Structure formats: C-alpha cells, structure tokens
C-alpha cells in the first residue's frame, strides 16, 4: 500500500501540500488581506515600487508639457520604445489568461492556486501597456478619437487599419480579463465579508461580493458562466497578440512583412508571461508562506511550459532567418544580414539568442528545473530576452529600410528609459496593493482540491485501477520466475 | 411566529452529508429548497433537482448580437455614412472587418455571461433571510447548509423540523424573514 501511495504521488502530485482542511485553507489565504498588521517587507517593497512609479508620473508630466519630442523616437525610427514596451507588457499579460482560461478548459488542476494572481498580473500588465499608445498619440486627452463615435467632424476611424483592430482587441482584452478576474473573486469576497472584523472593510467587501451566499443554484450558474468565459477568453487571448502582430505584418517593411507573425507573437507572449508569473510567485510563496498551495510541482510545471513556448520562439527565429533568404528579395535578405552580423545592432540579436534560446536549455536538467533560484534567474533572462526581441524586430527593421538616403540610428533618451522603468514601478505598486487587499490565491477553488471536497470518493476509484493494472502485469509474468 | 418565518436551516459538517440530505429532502417531495456550500458541489444539482440554466443560450445570443453590431457598425461607417477608398480596397472590405467584429462578439458574449449569471441569480441581494442566522457566516468558510422554505407546499413546521432533525445535521435553525 505504501508503494501504491508513492505511485499515485508520482502520477498525480498533490496540488495542496500539508494537512489542510476547508477552514485552514480559508483562514490561511484570507488572513493576508484581513490581518491588521501589514508585514514589514510589504512596506519596503511597496515603498520602492511606489517611488519608481512616481518616476513614471514625473515623466508623463514632462511629456505632456513638452510633447513626445523628449523621447528618442524620430524619423526613420518613428515607432521605438513606446511600441516595444507596449508589445512587451501586452505579451506578459497573456500568461494570466492562458492559466485562467486555457488550462481550465484542459482541466489542469495546477492552475487553481496560481490563476488569481496571474489574472491580476494580466490586468496590471495591460494597464501598463495601455499607457504607451495613449501617450504616443501626443495628445492623450483626445485618445477617445480612437473609438467610433458620432461627432461634429463627421469622420470615423478607418477599419481597414490594423491599428484600429488593435484598439478593439486590447480594449476587449482588458474588459474581459477584468470580468473574468472579478467573477472569480465574488465568492472569495463573500468569504472576506463574513470574516472581516473591521466594519468599513466588511462593508466594502459586502458591496463587491453582491450578497453572494453560496447557494447551490448560484454555484450552478456561476460555474457555467466561468466555463463559458474560459471558452470565449481562449480565442480572445490568441486573437489579441495575433492582432498586435498584424500591426507589423500588414505593413511592407522587411522584417515585419511575414505571414507567420501571429503564432510567433502568441508563443512569445506566453513565454514572457510565464517568466513573469515565475518572477512573481517565487518570492510571494516565501514571503507569505504559501508553499502549501504554490508547491514545488507548480514551479516545475511552469518551468516546463516556459521551456516549451521557448522552443516555439526559437523555431520562429530560425524560420525568420530562413524566410529572409528564401524570399529572394534583396531587401529581406539585407535585413537578415544586418540583423545578424553587418548591422549596427548585431549585438542585440546575439544577446536575444543568449537570453531567449540559450538560457532555457538549462531547464532540460532536473537540477536547474528543481531549483527555485535557477528558475528565477532563467525567468529574468527570458523577460529581458523578450524585450530584446521586440527591439530587434522594431528598431532593427526600420532603422535601415529601402532607401539608404533615409537610413538613421536610434538611441533612447533618459525619458524613454524613465518611462519604461516607471511602468515597472507602477506594475509592482499595483501587485503590492492587490496582495495586501485581496486574496492572492483563489480560496474557493483551492477548497475543491481538498479530499473533503470529493463527494464520490475518487480516491478509491484510483486505487482500484492501480490494483487492476498490477494484476494484469502479474499475469504476464511467468509464475515463480 | 410562523408568519415571519422564512424557513428551516440545517447545518452539516461535510459535503457528503449535505448531498445525502439534499437527496432525502427531494425524495420527501420538498421543492422550495436550497443548499449552501463554500465551494461548488457537482452532485448537488441532481440531488436538489436543479435544472440546467438557460445561461449558455443567452451568451450565444449576446455573441451573435455582438457580431451583428460589429458588422453593422463597419457597414454603416464605410458603406453608408463615409464611403472612401483606402489602399485600393472596396468599401465593403469584409476580410478587414473580421477582427473588430470578432472582438465585439467576444465582448458582448462575456458581458452576457457575467451579468446574465448575476441577473439569473438575483444578485445583488445584500439582504437575504438566511443571513439572519449567525452561524450562516461559516457557509463561506467550511460549513454546509440546507434550507426548506415555508413557501413549500409540503412545509409544516413541526413535521418538517422533525424530518430535518432526522437528517443527522449539526443543528436546525429557524430562519426569520
């Protein structure tokens, strides 16, 4: 019987470690937002992130005062840091939706304890991404011109342009991600409402939980709605980065005009997103002692997904180069040559290969895959690599286009950099606030992972199956061998 | 006293007990019943005789409406109100219209799923009689509850209370309106 338990453990690693009951799961997760005393490390982390976020605010104020000329963006590179950072942030968001929607449809139990903060990460990453196109318009107070609305000028957006598709894709993505995240929060907010001692917090949690009382009829419709949302978020998440990639591939620029951009970008987005989930959850599980819920198995699985998507990205690099040659277009082939060895940004490409293709090879080995420190380091490399990828694609393609007379170089100014670093601060500020005020792990979904939640006794079913397998195995063995 | 009584509420320790009790309650002919649990229990639907919700059909309708409005919006703009040739494409350039129409399909579908669910559930309902039982706060933590309403045609205070006590609950509460 001991062996049987071991076999079961290997096939189905437990998703919740330790001896937890419904009550301890609830208390452990909901104590973080309800506890009066905020841990000291929270103030340090939040303080640093908030200060960096102020840098973003100062940059934006200066940007509004002087105009986008304070950035290094200029002809011929008219689309530099703002779009690089936009694509980078949007890509990071994709892992959240993948975890919450696609892994739900595939019935992957391990998504349960990481989906809540992965979805929060999606929302905050999309918020950071949204800043760039809005401020890149130069007149953000007129950003509503992007939407079709009847106006006295009697003009409309031009729906044949991928940039308008992008407006629809990103705003839908932000809205649906918010809905998905919020719907999952309703039962947990009800838990917080019932456990809160502070009457103001109780009131706020009561308002936002809509009077949820856990009725069986409510759960029935809730689960249907959740499943449907997962079903429609799946094509959504795939379409969003595809449409972002069409911003490039619909144009004529060598290095952008490629039919395989949509899957290439979606793969890269999930790759970057899983790296960010790992960067967030490795420290979180230690700081808040959530190791029972975000187990070692979770980290290993995320590392494996990261590795798989990393190969999609590596494959795309290979074929990007191949298509440059196979197209027999002198402009395409020139672009590839300049990207890899003759151009001024060749070193960016090799750094990109180091971060995105070489670093993940470590994860082949159990030693690295099982080590949190190495997973964290590889994730940092991947995040940097995905940023470099967008730099190589965007700046690398437009600084040297068709006419040598219009070639030019690009270098970011201090405001480009302060805006990018500032959005990182903004992102982590929001993450810190989320961790302090809302349950970072979905409480009601973790409850369903406990053996107590098992009404039909699947445990026994499993053991019967294993015994059957052993029995057939014994029969094929020669007796007394 | 029976005038302002909403129903009787039984508390259980495990999901298994709740499902067993719900099955017995249904077999005894009660219809105005409900169960409360800290997480969704699949077998409770059958035990309580809950029918499948019409929500998926609503979402389908919402999605179709989104698709239709996406196409109609672009048709109105590019064919009726402001026809202009851009990039040599025809006024009615359907392939280029797919992404916005597709996104609106998803957007409308998602709104219908969420707000349809809340609407069909009768939420928001900040007040509900079961909240009057102090122990009910544990329904979002670890305990399981089953209610039989006074509206039920089979409801008879003494008989139903006796019946519920026979279901082996922790306790049976009177729920005031």
Mean of the pLDDT values across residues A308-337? Answer: 91
ipTM: 0.91
pLDDT band at residue A127 under the 50/70/90 scheme: very high
Which of B19, B36, B127 is opposite residue A455, by nearest beta carbon? B19
Model pLDDT for residues A8-45, shown as the tens digit of each residue: 777 777 777 777 888 888 888 888 888 878 888 899 99
Phi/psi at B9 (5° precision):
-120, 125
Among A247, A253, A264, which Cα is nearest to A83's? A247
Q: For position B19, what pLDDT does the model report?
A: 87
Identify which of B19, B36, B116 has the shortest CB distance to residue A215.
B36
Give A33's contacts (C-beta < 8 A, 6+ positions apart): A192, A436, A437, A438, A439
Size of interface A-B (CB pairs under 8 A): 199
Instruction: State whether B118 and A210 contact (CB < 8 Å).
Output: yes
DSSP annotation string for A87-135:
HHHHHHHHHHHIIIIIHHHTT-GGGTTTHHHHHHHHHHHHHHHHHHHHH
For residue A158, the chain B residues in CB contact (below 8 A) are: 86
Which of chain B's residues have a Cβ under 8 Å away from the Cβ of A195?
137, 140-141
Contacts of A198 (CB under 8 A, 6+ apart): none
Q: Alpha-carbon Rg of chain A, whole angstroms?
A: 25
CA of B93: which chain A residue's CA is closest? Answer: A160
Task: Specify the DSSP class assigned to residue A341.
Answer: I
User: pLDDT of A93-114, one tens digit each?
Assistant: 888 888 888 888 887 888 888 8
Distance separating alpha carbons of residues A433 and B141, to the nearest angstrom: 24
- pLDDT 10s digits, B16-45: 888 888 888 888 888 888 889 888 888 888
B170 CB within 8 Å of a chain A CB: no
- What pLDDT, on a 0 to 100 scale, did the predictor assign at position A195? 87
**Which chain A residue shows the shortest CA-CA distance from B54?**
A221
Quick check: B35 and A216 CB within 8 A?
Answer: yes
Closest to A247 (Cα-Cα) out of A333, A325, A168, A328: A168
**Could you check whether the bond before residue B124 is cis, i.e. omega within 30 degrees of 0?**
yes
* Helix axes A414-437 and A40-66, enclosed angle (nearest 10): 140
Percent of chain A with pLDDT over 70: 94
Measured between alpha carbons, how far is A300 from A160 in angstroms, rounded to an integer?
44
pLDDT recorded at residue A477 = 44
pLDDT score at A52: 95
Would you say residue A316 has pLDDT above 80? yes
What confidence tens digit (pLDDT) does each residue in A361-392 have? 999 998 888 888 999 999 999 999 999 999 99
* Alpha carbon distances (Å) from B128 to A215, A325, B136, B138: 11, 70, 11, 15
Among B9, B32, B37, B39, the strongest candidate for a mutation testing the A interface, having the largest count of A CBs within 10 A, is B39
What confidence score (pLDDT) does residue B175 get?
Answer: 84
Nearest-angstrom CA–CA distance, B46 and B41: 10
Cβ within 8 Å of A, B 91-130: 93, 96-97, 99-100, 102-104, 106-107, 109-111, 113-114, 116-118, 120-121, 123-128, 130
| Residue A434 CB neighbour total at 10 angstroms | 19
Please state, in angstroms and rounded to a whole number, the distance separating the CA atoms of residues A465 and A364: 32
Locate A371 and state its tokens.
Answer: 């080590």
Contact A159, B95 (CB under 8 A): no
Among the partner residues A182, A217, A452, nearest to B34 by beta-carbon distance: A217
**Shortest distance, CA B19 to any CA of chain A (angstroms):** 8
Residue A221 and residue B120 in contact, taking contact as beta carbons nearer than 8 Å: yes
Name the band, by pLDDT with cuts 50, 70 and 90, for residue A432: very high
* Of A156, A162, A216, Cβ closest to residue B48: A216
Position A103 scores a pLDDT of 84
| HEC string for A208-258 | HCCCCCCEHHHHHHHHHHHHHHHHHHHHHHHHHHHHHHHHHHCCCCCCCCC
Name the 3-class secondary structure at B146.
strand
Residues from chain A that touch B106, judged by Cβ atoms under 8 A, are 172, 176, 232-233, 235-236, 239
Pair type for strands B171-176 and B33-36 = unpaired
CB–CB contact A160 B81 (8 Å): no
Beta carbons of B45 and A23 less than 8 Å apart: no
Please give the backbone phi and psi of residue A328, each rounded to the nearest 5 degrees, phi first. 60, 20
CB contact under 8 A, A221 and B109: no
The structure tokens 């994730």 sit at: A379
Name every residue whose Cβ is closer than 8 Å to that of residue B141 and which is 6 or more positions away in sequence: A22, A23, A26, A27, A191, A194, A195, B38
Q: Name the residue of chain B whose CA is nearest to A456's CA.
A: B16
Q: Which two tokens stand for residue B15?
A: 């999901």
Class of A21-451 in CATH: mainly alpha
Contact list, A207 vs chain B (CB under 8 Å): 126
Euclidean distance between CA atoms B128 and B96, whole angstroms: 50
* Cα distance between residue A170 and residue A182, in whole Å: 18
Contact B113 A155 (CB under 8 A): no
Rounded Cα gap, residues A192 and A206, in angstroms: 8
Which chain A residue shows the shortest CA-CA distance from B66?
A: A172
- Per-residue pLDDT of A227-253, as tens digits, reads 999 999 999 989 999 999 999 998 888
CA max distance for chain A: 93
Closest CA in chain B for residue A242: B99
Which one has a higher pLDDT value, A471 or A401?
A401
The pLDDT of residue A437 is above 80: yes
* pLDDT for the residue B3: 58
Kindly report the nearest CA distance between residue A87 and chain B, in angstroms: 18
B88 Cβ under 8 Å from any chain A Cβ = no
Q: Identify the band that residue A476 occupies on the pLDDT scale cut at 50, 70 and 90.
A: very low
Contact A59, A82 (CB under 8 A): no
pLDDT at A132: 92
| pLDDT attached to residue A460 | 46
Mutation target to probe the B interface, by most B beta carbons within 10 A, among A27, A119, A154, A214 is: A214
- Give the CA distances from residue B47 to residues A452, A471, B8, B86, in Å, rounded to whole numbers and listed in that order: 18, 36, 18, 61
> B159 exposed, middle or buried (CB, 10 Å; 0-12, 13-18, 19+)?
exposed
Count CA atoms within 13 Å of residue A163 on its CB side. Answer: 11
In this structure, chain B runs to a length of 177
Q: Which residues pair with B36 in a beta bridge?
A: A215, B145
**pTM across the whole model:** 0.89
Q: Residues 146..165 of B with a Cβ closer than 8 Å to A: which? A: none
Using a CB–CB cutoff of 8 Å, tell me whether B20 touches chain A.
no
Distance from CA of B96 to the nearest CA of A (A): 5
Q: Mark the ranges of chain B whose per-residue pLDDT is less than 50.
A: 1-2
Domain range list for chain B = 2-52+128-176, 55-120
The reply to whether B90 touches chain A by the CB within 8 Å rule is: no
Q: Do you find a cis peptide bond into A76, omega within 30 degrees of 0? A: yes
Element (H, E) at A283: helix A261-287
Q: What is the rounded CA–CA span in Å between residue A385 and residue A393? A: 12
At A470 the pLDDT is 46
Asked whether the beta carbons of residue B117 and residue A232 sit closer than 8 angstroms, the reply is no
The predicted-structure confidence for A272-303, as pLDDT tens digits, reads as follows 999 999 999 899 888 888 888 888 888 998 99
Rounded to the nearest angstrom, the minimum Cα separation between A36 and chain B is 20
């Amino acid at each position: 019987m001991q062996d049987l338990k071991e076999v079961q453990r290997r096939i189905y690693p437990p998703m919740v470690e330790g001896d937890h009951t419904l009550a301890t799961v609830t208390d452990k997760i909901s104590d973080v937002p309800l506890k009066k005393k905020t841990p000291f490390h929270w103030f340090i982390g939040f303080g640093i992130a908030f200060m960096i976020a102020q840098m973003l605010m100062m940059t934006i104020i200066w940007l509004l005062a002087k105009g986008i000329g304070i950035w290094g963006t200029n002809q011929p590179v008219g689309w530099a840091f703002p779009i690089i950072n936009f694509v980078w942030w949007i890509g990071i968001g994709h892992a959240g939706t993948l975890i919450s929607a696609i892994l739900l449809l595939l019935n992957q139990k391990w998504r349960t304890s990481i989906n809540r903060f992965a979805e929060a990460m999606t929302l905050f990453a999309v918020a950071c991404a949204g800043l760039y196109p809005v401020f890149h318009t130069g007149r953000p107070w007129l950003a509503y011109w992007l939407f079709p609305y009847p106006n006295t000028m009697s003009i409309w957006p031009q729906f044949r342009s991928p940039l308008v598709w992008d407006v629809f894709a990103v705003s839908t993505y932000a809205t649906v991600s918010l809905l998905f995240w919020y719907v999952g929060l309703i039962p947990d907010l009800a838990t917080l409402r019932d456990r809160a001692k502070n009457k103001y917090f109780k009131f706020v949690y009561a308002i936002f939980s809509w009077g949820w009382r856990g009725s069986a009829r409510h759960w029935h419709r809730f689960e249907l709605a959740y499943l449907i949302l997962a079903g429609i978020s799946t094509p959504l998440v795939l379409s969003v980065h595809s449409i972002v990639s069409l911003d490039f591939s619909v144009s004529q620029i060598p290095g952008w005009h490629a039919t395989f951009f949509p899957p290439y970008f979606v793969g890269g987005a999930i790759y970057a997103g899983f790296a960010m989930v790992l960067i967030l959850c490795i420290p979180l599980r230690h700081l808040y002692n959530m190791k029972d819920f975000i187990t070692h198995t979770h980290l290993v699985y995320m590392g494996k997904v990261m590795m798989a998507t990393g190969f999609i990205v590596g494959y795309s690099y290979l074929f990007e180069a191949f298509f440059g040659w196979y197209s027999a277009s002198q402009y395409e082939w020139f672009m590839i040559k300049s990207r890899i060895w003759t151009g001024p940004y060749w070193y960016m490409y090799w750094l990109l290969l180091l971060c995105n293709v070489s670093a993940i090879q470590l994860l082949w080995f159990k030693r690295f895959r099982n080590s949190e420190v190495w997973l964290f380091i590889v994730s940092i490399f991947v995040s940097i690599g995905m940023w470099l990828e967008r730099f190589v694609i965007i700046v690398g393609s437009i600084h040297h286009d068709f006419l040598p007379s219009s070639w030019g170089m690009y270098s970011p100014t201090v405001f480009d950099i302060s805006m990018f670093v500032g959005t990182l601060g903004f992102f982590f500020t929001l993450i810190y606030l989320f961790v302090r005020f809302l349950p970072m792990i979905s409480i009601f979904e973790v409850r369903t992972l406990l053996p107590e939640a098992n009404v039909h006794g699947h445990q026994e079913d499993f053991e019967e199956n294993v015994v059957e397998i052993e029995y057939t195995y014994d029969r094929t063995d020669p007796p007394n061998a | 006293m029976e005038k302002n009584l909403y129903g009787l509420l039984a508390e259980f320790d495990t999901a298994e007990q709740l499902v067993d009790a719900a099955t017995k309650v249904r077999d005894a002919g009660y219809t105005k019943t409900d169960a409360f649990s800290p997480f969704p229990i699949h077998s409770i639907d059958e035990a309580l005789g809950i029918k499948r919700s019409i929500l998926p059909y609503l979402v389908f309708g919402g999605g179709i409406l989104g698709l239709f409005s996406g196409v109609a919006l672009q048709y109105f703009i590019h064919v009726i109100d402001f026809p202009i040739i851009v990039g040599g494409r025809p006024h009615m350039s359907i392939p280029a219209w797919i992404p916005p129409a597709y996104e609106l399909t998803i957007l409308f579908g998602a709104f219908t799923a969420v707000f349809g669910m809340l609407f069909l559930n009768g939420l928001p309902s900040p007040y509900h009689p079961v909240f009057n039982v102090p122990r009910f706060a544990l329904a979002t933590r670890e305990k399981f509850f089953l209610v039989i309403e006074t509206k039920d045609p089979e409801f008879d205070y003494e008989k139903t209370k006796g019946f519920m006590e026979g279901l082996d609950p922790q306790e049976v509460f009177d729920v005031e309106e």
